[in-house]
C-alpha cells in the first residue's frame, strides 16, 4: 500500500483528486450558505480557509509531482489538515458546551495584506453564531463532520509522508 501511495504522490491524478475533493466541500459550504441560507460563523470561515489550503496543496502537488514541489505540497497539506482539525474541534466544543466566556470573534481577522473578507465577501464574511447548531446529519453538526473530514485528510497525509521513504520497484513483465 505504501508503494502505491508513493507512486500516486508522484502523479498528477491523486493531487488533482485531492484538490477536487476540497473544491466539492467548498461548493457544499457555499450551497449551505447561499441556497439553504445558513449563516456561516467566524469558525466556519476559518475552516473554509483550511479547506482552501488543502485545495491549494493539491494544485501545488499537481504542478510538478516528481520534483521537490511535491514535498512543499505535502507540508501545506499537513498544516491545513492540522489547522482544520484544530479549528473544527474548537468549534465543536463551542457548540457542545456553550458559554458566555467561550465564544468566537464577531468578524474574521485576516492579515492586512490578504483581506479575503473585503475581496470576496460572499465567501469570507461571517454572519452567524458559532454556538448555533443550524444543521445536523445523523445528529452530528457541521464542525463535528469536519473533524472527521480533516482527520481523514491528515491520516492520508501521514501515510503519504511515510510512503515517501519507501522505494518503488518497477514490475517487469517477464521476471528473471
pLDDT reported for residue 169: 62
pLDDT reported for residue 55: 96
- Mean of pLDDT values over 66-80: 91
Which one of 7, 12, 104, 169 is the catalytic residue? 104
Which one of 41, 109, 170, 171 is the catalytic residue? 41
Position 174 in a domain: no
Residue 174 reports pLDDT greater than 60:
no
Residue 76 reports pLDDT greater than 70:
yes
The larger pLDDT score, comparing residue 131 to residue 48, is at: 48
What pTM value is reported for the model? 0.85
Position 88 in a domain: yes
Position 176 in a domain: no
Position 172 in a domain: no
The mean pLDDT value of the chain amounts to: 87
Q: How distant, in Å, are the alpha carbons of 42, 65, 75, 176 from that of 123?
A: 11, 30, 25, 59
Active site residue 8: no
Q: How confident is the model at residue 89 (pLDDT cuts 50, 70, 90)?
A: very high
Position 173 in a domain: no
**Number of folded domains in the chain?**
1
- Answer for the pair 92, 144: CB distance below 8 angstroms, yes or no: yes
Q: Residue 54 sits in a domain of what CATH number?
A: 1.20.1550.10
Q: What are phi and psi of 141, to 5 degrees?
A: -80, 170
Active site residue 86: no
The larger pLDDT score, comparing residue 125 to residue 153, is at: 153
Helix (H, G, I), strand (E, B) or coil at 127: coil
Residue 106 reports pLDDT greater than 90:
no
Residue 129 reports pLDDT greater than 80:
yes
CA distance linking residue 28 with residue 1, whole number of Å: 31
* Helix residue ranges per DSSP H, 35-141: 42-63, 69-96, 116-119, 121-124
Residues composing the chain: 176
Residue 42 reports pLDDT greater than 60:
yes
Position 147 in a domain: yes
Which one of 7, 8, 48, 70 is the catalytic residue? 48
Neighbours of 148 (CB within 10 A): 12
Q: Give me the domain span that covers residue 37.
A: 1-166
Amino acid at each position: 500500500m505504501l508503494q502505491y501511495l508513493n507512486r500516486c504522490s508522484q502523479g498528477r491524478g491523486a493531487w488533482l483528486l485531492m484538490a477536487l475533493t476540497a473544491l466539492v466541500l467548498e461548493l457544499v459550504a457555499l450551497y449551505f450558505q447561499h441556497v439553504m441560507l445558513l449563516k456561516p460563523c467566524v469558525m466556519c470561515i476559518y475552516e473554509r480557509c483550511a479547506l482552501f489550503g488543502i485545495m491549494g496543496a493539491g494544485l501545488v502537488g499537481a504542478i510538478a509531482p516528481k520534483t521537490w514541489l511535491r514535498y512543499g505540497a505535502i507540508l501545506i497539506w499537513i498544516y491545513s489538515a492540522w489547522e482544520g482539525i484544530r479549528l473544527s474541534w474548537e468549534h465543536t466544543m463551542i457548540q457542545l458546551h456553550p458559554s458566555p466566556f467561550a465564544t468566537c470573534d464577531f468578524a474574521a481577522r485576516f492579515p492586512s495584506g490578504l483581506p479575503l473578507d473585503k475581496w470576496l465577501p460572499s465567501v469570507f464574511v461571517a454572519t452567524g453564531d458559532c454556538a448555533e447548531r443550524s444543521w445536523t446529519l445523523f445528529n452530528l453538526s457541521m464542525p463535528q463532520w469536519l473533524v472527521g473530514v480533516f482527520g481523514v485528510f491528515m491520516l492520508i497525509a501521514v501515510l503519504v509522508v511515510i510512503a515517501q521513504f519507501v522505494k518503488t520497484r518497477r514490475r517487469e513483465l517477464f521476471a528473471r
